[in-house]
Structure 1
Amino acid sequence: MLYPNTLEQKLGFDKLRERLKEACISTLGQAFVEKIKFSENFTLVEKLVSQTAEMQRILEMGENFPSQNYIDATPYLKRAAIEGMLLTQAEFSDLKASLQTIKLCIRFFENQEPESYPILGEYSRNIRVDKAITDAIDRIIDDRGQIRDSASSELSRIRKRLISEQAGIRKKLDTILKSARSSGWIGDDVSLTVRNGRMVIPVAAEHKRKVKGFIHDESATGQTVFIEPTDVFESNNEIRELEYEERREINRILLELTSQLRPYVPDLQKAYGFLGLMDFLRAKAKLAAEMNAINPPFTNRQFIDWRNARHPLLHLSFQKQGKKVVPLNIELNEKQRILIVSGPNAGGKSVSLKTVGLIQYMFQCGLLVPVEEGSSMGFFQNIFIDIGDEQSLENDLSTYSSHLTNMRHFLTVSNRRTLFLIDEFGTGTEPGLGGAIAESILENLVKSGAYGVINTHYTNLKVLADKTDGLVNGAMRFDGEHLEPLYQLEIGRPGSSFAFEIASKIGLPEAVVNRAKEKLGKQQVNFEKLLKELDIERRVFAEKNIEVGIKERKLAKQLSDYTALKENLENNEKKIVNEAKQKAKNLISDANQLIENTIREIKENKAEKEKTKTVRTTLETFGKKNLALEEVVETAPAEEIYEPEGGDIVPGSYVRILGQTAIGEVLAIRGKDIEIRIGDLKSTVKLNRLEKVSNKTYRAATGEKKVKTVAKGVDLNERMLNFSFNLDMRGKRGEEALGLVDQFMDNAIMLGYDELRIVHGKGDGILRTLVRNHLRGYSQVRDMQDEHSDRGGAGVTIVKLK
């Protein structure tokens, strides 16, 4: 069910319908456009959209699909079905061209795999154009739409006689023309012409008596007359008779051809329905291409899940201007069925509302929709809208009364299969009463289980959405700094109307604005202010998140490069060692060979056996000693031994962090927080996590002796992931706050941040002064300044590092 009956006009679908008509080639396709309507049948919608998607694939792939001669010949077929009627030569020419297009469409699908275009292929297999009738028409009508001479033997005879007679009369007239030209009765540029179906000579009016014949016509100026000479009267009469015979024979042929066509009329009417469908689908596919529309997954349940949805008409309009529409991301499901959208006027609320309605309506009319991949379409049986001024003078209804009439219908008929859209909910009457009635209506709509989108400025509806299951707030984003709409929908939080800011921007006196704030009340002003600050904070953190993401990617790349370099060095080391082993083996092998030769010489010279045995034993010992070349085994470093030391931990003491191997020096003690230095790194650690160690252990750890240690200490990756550039210390005491600042600064300096944000609040300025004086003690601090007034002003310190 659709409500109201002007829904198409309010959503703008009537304009899309006109575009589809313009995209059609013939009235056949346009007739299908006129029949487009919203369907409440899930299976039918799925079929309509799928067949459009199939045609879109055909056009996108550049397939050789017919694109001309989509001619509506159905009126001819209706006449041909009547006994005794005949179709004209022009009508048979249209039939021949359009039947050829139908055959090409059928042949296209015959040449495709059945699974390529299952729906359209099935349609084409049910269409029959009998070859007998197309051959019969082709025997009579040539490719130029003329009757062939071979259509009948009688027609062939008549046309041959006509040609002969026309040649004879032309010869006679040429002779007369030459004579008249030589006599000066006509000009040199004059030639034969035809008047009333008879061949004549143009003669100057003053010489018309000099040429014997019949005057058929004269020029507009009266200076030229067209004379049929007496000598060609009979020949012209003969030609006229032959033309009448030709016409009678052609009518006989066409009457016979129409009779041949008559039995095939039912099949041909079905074929032209198929041709109209192809034209219609081509138009829908072309419109989809202009909108970059797709066929998203379609499910028989109620929900909306769209990514980068674009208003179809805005998309087409902006495309011509070279601009892009700000896309809409929206999701409605069982947990958040009704979206309450708030935000400033002219911020895009109404456009977003119409985008939702038009896209859902388009899809259930069988059109592809302008959303991106990853989107999904739900199914609704009812679409109700309340958009625009419905004031009616005829029914004596005010705008507000009209809205309430619509609400009565919504409350009466809405169910879980309903999608409703309400623009400027509750307006048109006294705000307090309007807000109360709107809240009551909304509560009932929630109970109905319906899905919907509502635009409003009422704070009570925003609050209700925040605490009611099934409702969710949404905001049209607004640049609070430049006071410009961003036209982006953000679901999950309410939006501010920015009424005071916009009033100030357009030049309303400041005193008037301030007085308005006083009249509104502190609670409402604070609510609007909080919404504005939340939006600003969100944008600040979004920008910082982008920066952090860039740094994380850079760090990941550096880590990857380091790992690759390390592996390369290890491989090179193994390669060098193995090459050295091989060289050593070769060297010893050569030495062995030399020694064997020496022993052989000794034997040959009959040396003592005992001496030879001694030499061989020495040789084997030498070989075993030098050829013990096994794989390098990496041995774990020996466990380090730390010498604990008794006594209290005081500034200057050497300590070890329990569970770690890092050794540091105590710099300062603040209660149970101990500031230590490990190399160039400062850090604050709880006292119960430290163990005092001896000076010897510290010297060994710092490298004064050649003791191999493994320094673990700080995990930079973990610090990077857990670190936030924003420190909020509101409500902290002085000593506790300074400890947090020191830890915050140590991590920031170690991780290489160049800008930090410390939130201390305004108050009396005590904490701000304490923090800034403390920061001046850091040599790494380049500058400090207040945050932008829209983002906290003097309540936030921006710290810039060197």
Structure 2
Amino acid sequence: MIYPDHFERKIGFAEVRTLLKGRCMSTLGTEWVDNHVQFSSNFDEVSEALSQAKEFGDFMQAEEEVYEENFYDVRQSLMRIRPERTYLEELDLFDLKRSLQTVVSIVQFLRTTTAEEEAHAADDTVASAATTEGDTAADNLDERAAHAKYPALYRMTEGVGCFPQIIRRIDTVLNKYGKMKDTATPELLSIRHNIEVTTRSISHSLRSIITQAQADGYIDRDVSPTLRDGRLVIPVAPALKRKIKGIIHDESATGKTVFIEPAAVVDANNRIRELKAAERREIIRILQILSGEIRPHINAILGSMQFLAHIDYLRALAIFSEQFQAVVPQLQRGPRIDWVQARHPLLQQSLERHGKQMIPLDITLRERGRILLISGPNAGGKSVCLKTVGLLQYMLQCGMPVPARENSIVGIFDDIFIDIGDEQSLENDLSTYSSHLLNMKTMMRRCSSRSLLLIDEFGSGTEPQIGGAMAEAILQKFVERGACGIITTHYQNLKHFAETCTTVINGAMLYDRAKMQPLFVLQIGNPGSSFAVEIARNIGIPEEVIRYASDLVGKDYVMSDKYLQDIVRDKLYWENKRRNIHEREKKLEQTIARYENELSHLSTEKKEVLRTAREEAERLIQDSNAMIESTIRTIKESQAEKERTREARRELHSFREEMKTRDQQAADDAIARKMEQIRRRQERKKEKRPQQPAALGNLVQALSGGKTGNTAPAAPATPQKPQVGSYVRIKGQNTVGRIQSMQGKTARVLFGVMVTTVPLSRLETTTKPVEKTSISKVSTFISKETRDAVYEKKLRFRPEIDLRGMHGDEALTAVHYFIDDAILLEQHTVRILHGTGTGALRTMIRQYLSTVGGVKSYRDEHVQLGGAGITIVELA
């Protein structure tokens, strides 16, 4: 591909890179954006990258619970442990474990989307290194991916190493907060147990020493041990420092306090130091062993980190696409541009920030219009159109969704050439026009039928007549090479050239002559006017200057420009007319289709009514025939005369014909009644509140034995006078309470658990509320965002609060929120550091803790760790 080095900056892709990197979770993703988001002219590569982006966007929306977004760059830490006896620190191990968990979750989910892969994932043995495969293996991969829910993402997992055994091994030594477990090794457990025992003995000794010293009057009653250089000491006045045997470690800044380590605990404190050093050595030994187990897999883990970087980039790209409504358009191999509702993302962001609306563009380049020549007024949107095409095409061939409609059809270009803006170079002694001609030289020499040219202000920068002629000659060369392109210009000769050339088509950025402002709408088919005279007149250029300029160019030129404006205006008018007519025809077709559907429904109902009526008539005739046959049988049995029998038969025949006629009439009447009912039903559907027919009321009255259906409501019961124990409610409200006591014209009413004094004039008596005996099962749902917030808060929560220096009310408020958070996060023990002082703050805090239901107990901290200056709170 050949294009200037400043291409990305000119079209704004450098800013798009910055936006993408700002949405990445780690340096893994930002480095992927810098190193792998590159222009490609390979159709298969671009198609695969777009499929990955689209599928991951769907994956994020549909499978948000699959994995936690832990993206940590541990590559430098892994590289540091390549030499023997080096080790990963606890935090590095914790980050490695969480990153590998993310890889395992994603890879196993994508690989288990087919039944065949579920069997492989069941034994928890996902491949730990990439392998080289031949053509057969690649075919098998494509075949397996075809059955996956996300085929492109499935192909991404090929050769990615997952290390569940390393995750499990790290879990055996680190807790859920990333700290070394006591049970990591028996030696560590023994060391920490000894530290705890020794600490208790020191605390017991110090408590005895302080009690004795307080009894002897050497130290104050509120004195508690403090920590200096990792050793527990007692604050003593300088005058009394000889009274307590021990080592002076420090003194206060004012010199009024010295800190003495009693001799009785010196050996124990030394023992604590030794045990702490042994603990650190054991932790390092554990980390060295664990790092040695990880060391053989470093290269494969680094490959997994590349997969994680790709996922981080796809996640950022999905967020970017959602923000700018970017989609994956229809892709074809040959060079083609058919953008529908295309938007420049940076311009869209800027306009939205200022509360303005973006006007999208429809841009088409096809076989019979491979080069689009756009003309129109300055500041009318020509350059924006050019940059929009350049940026969207570049984004697409970098494998990114673009802000346009999904029905856009776009091809792949081998090269994109650009010439936008002033390229004057003082260092190389090049003028604007010289730089422009150098770019044209490069384009003419290297462009092909698979190249896209983006040229702004074609031919400008020199004398118009020769500049226009040179531009026309260069354009002819582009046509001969079969290149595609979008070119903006003001030259009339180029507009005439486009009218005579089959592969170049005119386009115009529309301008509202009435409001004298651009419309930012691209219209393909006709050239545009520069509106030089109108813009000059609108700005306020003197009329004699405008008239003089018009005389210079000639009346024909001015009139031709005016005629061109009229043509554009008329075309826009008729386009709007055509669009309105098309919309009305569409609505008319919908209305006709609806009526035809209703007519078909009515015809079906009519046939059903006719069928029912005929069946009823047939049944009546059959009943009549039965009666007739019974009559004939009776006549025969009566042994009547033959003449009388014939006469009876004639009468019966007449009766039969009469019954048929009557049944047919009844059927016709039934059909007519049914059709009338259907018509009335259609009319009632149009009414908002259909009224009950009067006949229905008569029918209800008849069925109820003469009682009307709308009986008068029962007379309301006479309101009772409120008294103690009555159930009442405030007038105009629904909450029911019970009167507990009355005094004069007021009453104390219990509403739920709250007692309120209410004037009797505002109360009205009511019945006792019905108690619901059924126990409803309440189901709760906690969103992922809430759970993530609680989890994040739990990770950041410190089970200790420092209140020293706070006032009483401020401290109580802080303790209130601290205890609430601790209960919410299911902490069992927390520490409140309030200091000793006069003891007022400690007393106030403990009085408050006595009122909190979630507090099981509280006590002083171990004397070695703070004593009475710290309150240990046990939570239920």
Match of 2:845 in 1: none
Does residue 241 (structure 1) correspond to residue 274 (structure 2)? The answer is yes
Residue 551 of structure 1: CA displacement?
5.4
1:487-537 CA-partner distances (Å, limit 9, x unpaired)? 111111111111211222222223322332222222221222122212322
Evaluate the alpha carbon distance shift between residue 14 and residue 592 of structure 1 in structure 2; reply closer, same or farther with a 3 A threshold: closer
Report the Cα distance in structure 1 between the residues aligned to 2:223 and 2:111, rounded to whole angstroms: 59
Give distance in 1, aligned partners of 2:610 and 2:285.
106
Deviation at 1:231, TM superposition (A): 2.6
- What is the alpha-carbon distance in structure 2 between the residues aligned to residue 561 and residue 283 of structure 1? 47
TM-score, length basis structure 2:
0.66
Asked whether the 8 Å contact 1:106–1:125 carries over to 2, the reply is no
Q: 1:461 to 1:201 in 2, by over 3 A?
A: farther
What is residue 162 of structure 2 aligned with on the other side? Answer: 129
Once the two structures are TM-superposed, the CA of residue 319 in structure 1 deviates from its matched residue by: 4.0
Of stretches 91-100 and 357-366 in structure 1, the one that deviates more from structure 2 is 91-100
Of the candidates 305, 309, 327, which is equivalent to residue 276 of structure 1?
309
CA distance in 1, matches of 2:162, 2:107: 9
Post-superposition shift, 1:144? 1.9
Check 1:204–1:426 CA distance in 2 against 1; reply closer, same or farther (3 A cut): farther
Asked whether the 8 Å contact 1:341–1:349 carries over to 2, the reply is yes
Partners of 1:491 and 1:302 in 2: CA distance:
19
Partner of 2:88: 87
Query: 1:24 Cα deviation (Å)?
Result: 1.0
Letter of the 1:195 partner, please give it: R
Which residue type is aligned with residue 38 of structure 1?
Answer: F
Does the residue aligned with 1:442 lie in a helix, a strand or coil?
helix
**Residue 546 (structure 1) shift:** 5.3
Q: Amino acid of the residue matched to residue 432 of structure 2?
A: T
1:61 alignment counterpart: 62
Quick check: 1:11 aligned with 2:24?
Answer: no
Q: Residue in 2 aligned with 1:295?
A: 328
Q: In 2 relative to 1, CA 192–500 (structure 1 residues): closer, same or farther, beyond 3 Å? A: farther
- Which segment is superposed worse, 353-362 or 33-42? 33-42
- The residue aligned with 1:443 is 476
Asked whether the equivalents of residues 80 and 261 of structure 1 are also in contact (C-alpha less than 8 Å), the reply is: no
Aligned positions, number? 632
Instruction: Give the match for residue 42 of structure 1.
Output: 43
Choose from 324, 345, 352 the match for 2:357: 324
Q: 1:148 to 1:505 in 2, by over 3 A?
A: same
**Equivalent in the alignment of 1:789:** none
The equivalent residue for 1:29 is 29
* Structure 2 residue 629 is matched with structure 1 residue 609: no
Query: Aligned pair in 2 of structure 1 residues 56, 589: CA closer, same or farther (>3 Å)?
Result: closer
In the alignment, what sits opposite 2:432?
399
3-state SS in 2 of match to 1:340: strand
1:596 to partner: Cα distance: 7.3
- Work out which of the residue numbers 493, 496, 499 in structure 2 matches 1:463: 496
- Aligned equivalents of 1:341 and 1:203: distance in 2? 90
After superposition, the Cα gap between the structure-2 partners of 1:483 and 1:170, relative to the gap in structure 1 and judged at 3 Å, is: same
Task: Name the residue aligned to 1:100.
Answer: 101
- Of 457, 466, 472, 2:505 maps to 472
Letter matched to residue 523 of structure 1: D
Alignment of 1:211-230 (within 5 A): 211-230=244-263
What is the Cα deviation at residue 329 of structure 1? 0.8
Give, in whole Å, the separation in 2 of the partners of 1:106 and 1:628: 82
The answer (yes or no) to whether the contact 2:104–2:164 under 8 Å persists in 1 is: no
Structure 2 residue 186 is matched with structure 1 residue 153: yes
Task: Report the Cα offset of residue 91 of structure 1.
Answer: 2.2
- After TM superposition, list the pairs within 5 Å mapping 1:284-433 onto structure 2: 284-433=317-466
Contact 2:89 2:287 in 1 (8 A): yes
Distance change >3 Å, CA 48–CA 553, structure 1 → 2? closer
What amino acid is the match of 1:398? S
Which whole-Å CA distance do the structure 2 matches of 1:623 and 1:300 have between them? 83
Which amino acid is the alignment partner of residue 167 of structure 1? R
Over residues 723-753 of structure 1, what are the superposed CA-to-partner deviations in whole Å (9 max), with x where a residue is unaligned?
xxxxxxxxxxxxxxxxxxxxxxxxxxxxxxx
Q: Which residue of 1 aligns with 2:552?
A: 519
**Measured at CA, do residues 163 and 529 of structure 1 come closer, stay the same or move farther in structure 2, by a change above 3 Å?**
same
SS at 1:3 equivalent: coil
Equivalent position to 2:228, from 185, 195, 201: 195
What amino acid does structure 1 have at the position aligned with 2:11?
A: L
State how far apart, in whole Å, the 2-side matches of 1:260 and 1:291 are. Answer: 46
Structure 1 residue 558: Cα displacement:
7.0
- Give the drift of 1:337: 0.4
Describe the superposition over 1:167-193 as per-residue Cα deviations: whole angstroms up to 9, x where unpaired.
Answer: 111222233444556677666665433
Secondary structure, aligned partner of 2:330: coil
* CA separation of 1:550 and 1:357: change in aligned 2, threshold 3 A: closer
Output aligned runs, 1:640-659, within 5 Å: none
CA-CA distance at 1:457 after TM superposition: 1.1
Give the whole-Å Cα distance in 2 for the aligned partners of 1:430 and 1:355: 29
Amino acid at match of 1:5: D
How far has the Cα of 1:425 moved from its partner?
0.9
Decide whether the 8 Å contact of 2:624 with 2:656 is kept in 1: no
Confirm or deny: 8 A CA contact 1:42 1:300 kept in the other structure. yes
The structure with higher relative contact order (CA 8 Å, sep 6+) is 2
Farther-moved stretch of structure 1 (354-363 vs 295-304): 295-304
Alpha-carbon offset, residue 594 of structure 1 = 8.3
Measure, in 2, the Cα distance between the counterparts of 1:575 and 1:104. Answer: 61
Find the aligned partners of 1:580 and 1:120 in 2 and give their Cα distance: 65
The answer to whether the 8 Å contact 1:581/1:629 transfers is: no
Matches of 2:15 and 2:466, distance apart in 1: 38
1:208 positional shift? 4.7
Q: Deviations over 1:411-466 (max 9, x none)?
A: 01000110110011111111111111111111111111111100111111111111
Quote the Cα distance in structure 2 between the aligned partners of 1:559 and 1:425.
53
Gaps of at least 5 residues in structure 2 are 115-146, 666-876
- Aligned pairs for 1:725-764 (under 5 A) are none
Deviation at 1:320, TM superposition (A): 4.3
**CA distance, structure 2, for counterparts of residue 253 and residue 48 of structure 1:** 43
Is the 8 Å Cα contact of residues 165 and 239 (structure 1) preserved in structure 2?
yes
Secondary structure of the residue that 2:521 maps to in structure 1?
strand
Q: Tell me which residue corresponds to 1:653.
A: none
The DSSP-based 3-state class of the residue aligned with 1:429 is coil
Distance between the aligned counterparts of 1:406 and 1:186, measured in 2?
90
Deviations 1:621-656 (A, max 9, x none): 896799699999xxxxxxxxxxxxxxxxxxxxxxxx
Aligned twin of 1:533: 566
CA-based RMSD of the aligned residues comes to 3.4
Write out aligned runs for 1:686-701 (5 A): none
SS of residue matched to 1:336: coil
2:520 to 482, 487, 498: 487
> Cα distance, 1:538 vs. partner?
2.9
Secondary structure in 1 aligned to 2:404? Answer: coil
Aligned position for 1:164 = 197
Offset of residue 561 of structure 1:
7.7
Q: Show CA shifts across 1:702-726 (max 9, x none).
A: xxxxxxxxxxxxxxxxxxxxxxxxx
- Deviating more after overlay: 195-204 vs 398-407: 195-204
1:71 and 2:72 are equivalent in the alignment = yes
Residue identity in the other structure for 2:71: Y
TM-score for the superposition, normalised by structure 1? 0.72
Q: 1:186–1:402: structure 2 CA closer, same or farther, 3 Å change rule? A: farther
The gaps in structure 1 that reach 5 residues or longer are 633-802
For residue 45 of structure 2, give the secondary structure of its aligned residue in structure 1: helix
- Determine if contact 1:474/1:489 at 8 Å carries over to the other structure: yes
Deviations 1:118-157 (CA, angstroms, capped at 9, x unpaired): 2322333522234443333222222222222222222222
The superposition leaves residues 44-100 of structure 1 with CA deviations (integer Å, 9 ceiling, x where unpaired) of 222222212221111122432434321111112212222232222332222222222
